[in-house]
Protein backbone atom coordinates (compact mmCIF):
# COMPACT_ATOMS: atom_id res chain seq x y z
CA UNK A 1 0.00 0.00 0.00
CA UNK A 2 1.19 3.49 -0.82
CA UNK A 3 2.22 5.05 2.51
CA UNK A 4 1.16 8.48 1.26
CA UNK A 5 -2.44 7.32 1.50
CA UNK A 6 -2.23 5.67 4.90
CA UNK A 7 -3.96 7.77 7.59
CA UNK A 8 -1.05 7.26 10.01
CA UNK A 9 1.39 9.10 7.72
CA UNK A 10 -0.89 11.48 5.80
CA UNK A 11 -0.26 15.18 6.36
CA UNK A 12 -2.68 18.11 6.08
CA UNK A 13 -1.66 21.52 4.76
CA UNK A 14 -2.62 24.43 7.00
CA UNK A 15 -3.94 27.51 5.17
CA UNK A 16 -5.01 31.09 5.72
CA UNK A 17 -8.68 32.15 5.56
CA UNK A 18 -8.16 32.66 1.80
CA UNK A 19 -6.83 29.13 1.27
CA UNK A 20 -3.18 30.11 0.94
CA UNK A 21 -0.81 27.52 2.44
CA UNK A 22 1.02 28.82 5.51
CA UNK A 23 3.99 26.49 4.99
CA UNK A 24 2.92 24.43 8.00
CA UNK A 25 1.65 20.86 7.94
CA UNK A 26 0.41 18.41 10.53
CA UNK A 27 -0.48 14.73 10.80
CA UNK A 28 -3.98 14.17 9.42
CA UNK A 29 -5.47 12.25 12.33
CA UNK A 30 -3.80 14.27 15.08
CA UNK A 31 -4.85 17.53 13.38
CA UNK A 32 -8.57 16.74 13.63
CA UNK A 33 -9.94 17.49 17.11
CA UNK A 34 -12.15 20.02 18.85
CA UNK A 35 -9.81 22.89 17.87
CA UNK A 36 -8.94 21.84 14.31
CA UNK A 37 -6.91 24.48 12.46
CA UNK A 38 -8.02 25.59 9.02
CA UNK A 39 -6.52 23.25 6.45
CA UNK A 40 -6.79 22.42 2.76
CA UNK A 41 -9.18 19.70 1.59
CA UNK A 42 -11.41 18.85 -1.37
CA UNK A 43 -14.79 17.29 -2.12
CA UNK A 44 -15.64 15.60 -5.40
CA UNK A 45 -18.98 14.58 -6.87
CA UNK A 46 -18.60 11.70 -9.33
CA UNK A 47 -21.31 11.29 -11.96
CA UNK A 48 -21.84 8.17 -14.06
CA UNK A 49 -21.28 9.07 -17.67
CA UNK A 50 -24.15 6.94 -19.03
CA UNK A 51 -26.96 8.61 -17.05
CA UNK A 52 -25.45 11.34 -14.81
CA UNK A 53 -26.34 9.38 -11.65
CA UNK A 54 -24.37 10.61 -8.64
CA UNK A 55 -22.12 8.26 -6.68
CA UNK A 56 -22.77 8.71 -2.96
CA UNK A 57 -20.81 6.91 -0.28
CA UNK A 58 -21.24 5.99 3.33
CA UNK A 59 -18.06 6.59 5.29
CA UNK A 60 -16.73 3.42 6.91
CA UNK A 61 -17.80 2.98 10.53
CA UNK A 62 -14.14 2.55 11.53
CA UNK A 63 -13.21 6.06 10.37
CA UNK A 64 -12.27 8.45 13.15
CA UNK A 65 -13.81 11.50 11.49
CA UNK A 66 -17.56 11.39 10.66
CA UNK A 67 -17.90 7.57 10.65
CA UNK A 68 -20.97 5.99 9.08
CA UNK A 69 -22.42 9.14 7.52
CA UNK A 70 -23.59 9.33 3.90
CA UNK A 71 -21.82 11.92 1.82
CA UNK A 72 -20.71 12.90 -1.67
CA UNK A 73 -18.47 10.60 -3.70
CA UNK A 74 -15.02 11.28 -2.28
CA UNK A 75 -13.33 13.77 0.03
CA UNK A 76 -9.76 14.15 1.14
CA UNK A 77 -6.71 16.28 1.71
CA UNK A 78 -3.91 17.08 -0.73
CA UNK A 79 -0.45 16.12 0.45
CA UNK A 80 2.11 18.91 0.87
CA UNK A 81 3.06 20.08 -2.64
CA UNK A 82 0.33 18.01 -4.33
CA UNK A 83 -2.20 19.73 -6.59
CA UNK A 84 -5.87 19.44 -5.70
CA UNK A 85 -6.54 17.67 -9.02
CA UNK A 86 -3.85 15.07 -8.30
CA UNK A 87 -5.25 14.59 -4.79
CA UNK A 88 -8.75 13.98 -6.18
CA UNK A 89 -7.35 11.35 -8.54
CA UNK A 90 -5.30 9.69 -5.81
CA UNK A 91 -8.17 9.50 -3.35
CA UNK A 92 -10.70 8.36 -6.00
CA UNK A 93 -8.37 5.47 -6.84
CA UNK A 94 -7.64 4.64 -3.18
CA UNK A 95 -11.13 5.08 -1.70
CA UNK A 96 -13.39 4.21 -4.62
CA UNK A 97 -11.25 1.95 -6.80
CA UNK A 98 -11.81 4.42 -9.65
CA UNK A 99 -8.34 5.09 -11.06
CA UNK A 100 -9.57 7.17 -13.97
CA UNK A 101 -12.05 10.01 -13.77
CA UNK A 102 -12.85 12.19 -16.76
CA UNK A 103 -13.84 15.83 -17.10
CA UNK A 104 -12.55 16.76 -13.63
CA UNK A 105 -13.24 20.41 -12.92
CA UNK A 106 -13.58 22.67 -9.92
CA UNK A 107 -17.10 24.05 -9.49
CA UNK A 108 -16.76 25.78 -6.10
CA UNK A 109 -13.15 27.02 -5.85
CA UNK A 110 -13.60 29.03 -2.64
CA UNK A 111 -15.86 26.73 -0.62
CA UNK A 112 -15.01 26.84 3.09
CA UNK A 113 -16.78 25.37 6.08
CA UNK A 114 -16.49 24.67 9.77
CA UNK A 115 -18.65 21.96 11.32
CA UNK A 116 -20.17 21.84 14.76
CA UNK A 117 -18.47 19.20 16.93
CA UNK A 118 -19.18 15.62 15.86
CA UNK A 119 -17.97 13.01 18.34
CA UNK A 120 -15.41 15.52 19.64
CA UNK A 121 -14.09 16.54 16.20
CA UNK A 122 -14.56 19.80 14.31
CA UNK A 123 -13.87 19.93 10.59
CA UNK A 124 -12.38 23.28 9.58
CA UNK A 125 -11.55 23.24 5.89
CA UNK A 126 -10.88 25.40 2.88
CA UNK A 127 -12.37 22.83 0.54
CA UNK A 128 -12.68 23.42 -3.21
CA UNK A 129 -15.45 21.25 -4.69
CA UNK A 130 -14.99 19.26 -7.90
CA UNK A 131 -17.16 17.30 -10.31
CA UNK A 132 -15.96 14.42 -12.50
CA UNK A 133 -17.40 11.55 -14.50
CA UNK A 134 -16.70 7.82 -14.31
CA UNK A 135 -17.36 5.09 -16.84
CA UNK A 136 -16.62 2.21 -14.49
CA UNK A 137 -18.30 0.77 -11.43
CA UNK A 138 -16.49 1.56 -8.17
CA UNK A 139 -14.69 -1.08 -6.18
CA UNK A 140 -14.44 0.74 -2.83
CA UNK A 141 -11.81 0.25 -0.17
CA UNK A 142 -13.73 -1.06 2.90
CA UNK A 143 -11.41 0.86 5.24
CA UNK A 144 -12.79 4.07 3.70
CA UNK A 145 -16.26 3.24 2.37
CA UNK A 146 -18.94 1.30 4.25
CA UNK A 147 -21.52 1.37 1.44
CA UNK A 148 -22.19 3.17 -1.83
CA UNK A 149 -24.84 3.67 -4.47
CA UNK A 150 -25.60 5.55 -7.67
CA UNK A 151 -28.58 7.90 -7.22
CA UNK A 152 -30.47 10.37 -9.36
CA UNK A 153 -29.94 14.02 -8.35
CA UNK A 154 -33.61 14.19 -7.26
CA UNK A 155 -33.06 11.24 -4.90
CA UNK A 156 -29.92 12.90 -3.52
CA UNK A 157 -31.95 16.07 -2.92
CA UNK A 158 -34.53 14.00 -1.04
CA UNK A 159 -31.81 12.35 1.09
CA UNK A 160 -30.32 15.73 2.04
CA UNK A 161 -33.74 17.07 3.00
CA UNK A 162 -34.55 14.03 5.18
CA UNK A 163 -33.97 15.22 8.77
CA UNK A 164 -33.64 11.61 9.94
CA UNK A 165 -30.89 10.72 7.42
CA UNK A 166 -27.31 10.49 8.67
CA UNK A 167 -25.67 12.78 6.11
CA UNK A 168 -22.42 14.72 6.38
CA UNK A 169 -22.53 18.37 7.33
CA UNK A 170 -20.51 19.41 4.28
CA UNK A 171 -22.76 17.53 1.83
CA UNK A 172 -25.77 19.45 3.13
CA UNK A 173 -23.85 22.73 3.19
CA UNK A 174 -22.41 22.34 -0.32
CA UNK A 175 -25.79 21.41 -1.78
CA UNK A 176 -27.18 24.93 -1.43
CA UNK A 177 -24.42 26.23 -3.72
CA UNK A 178 -24.20 23.24 -6.08
CA UNK A 179 -27.86 23.02 -7.06
CA UNK A 180 -27.59 26.21 -9.14
CA UNK A 181 -24.32 25.30 -10.90
CA UNK A 182 -23.81 23.20 -14.04
CA UNK A 183 -23.91 20.26 -14.33
CA UNK A 184 -26.11 19.93 -11.23
CA UNK A 185 -28.67 22.56 -12.22
CA UNK A 186 -29.50 20.46 -15.28
CA UNK A 187 -29.96 17.16 -13.47
- Quick check: is 158 catalytic? no
Catalytic site residue from 75, 85, 127, 144: 75
77 is in an annotated binding site: yes
32 is in an annotated binding site: yes
Distance CA 108, CA 178 (A): 8
- Quick check: is 127 catalytic? no
Cα-Cα-Cα-Cα torsion 104, 13, 28, 108, nearest 10 degrees, comes to: -30
Catalytic site residue from 85, 125, 127, 144: 125
Length of the chain measured in residues: 187
125 is in an annotated binding site: yes
CA angle (174, 42, 54) in 5-degree steps: 55
24 is in an annotated binding site: no
Distance CA 79, CA 90 (A): 10
The 3-state DSSP class for residue 161 equals: helix
- Binding-site annotation: residue ranges for Mn(2+): 32, 39, 77, 123, 125
- Binding-site annotation: residue ranges: 32, 39, 77, 95, 123, 125
Q: Which positions are annotated as active-site residues?
A: 75, 125
Amino acid sequence: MDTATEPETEQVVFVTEDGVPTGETGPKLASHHEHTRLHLAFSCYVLRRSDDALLITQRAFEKRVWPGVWTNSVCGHPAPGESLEAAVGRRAAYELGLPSLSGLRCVLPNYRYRTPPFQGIVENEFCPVFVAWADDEPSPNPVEVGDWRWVAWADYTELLNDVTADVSYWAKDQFAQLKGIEPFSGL
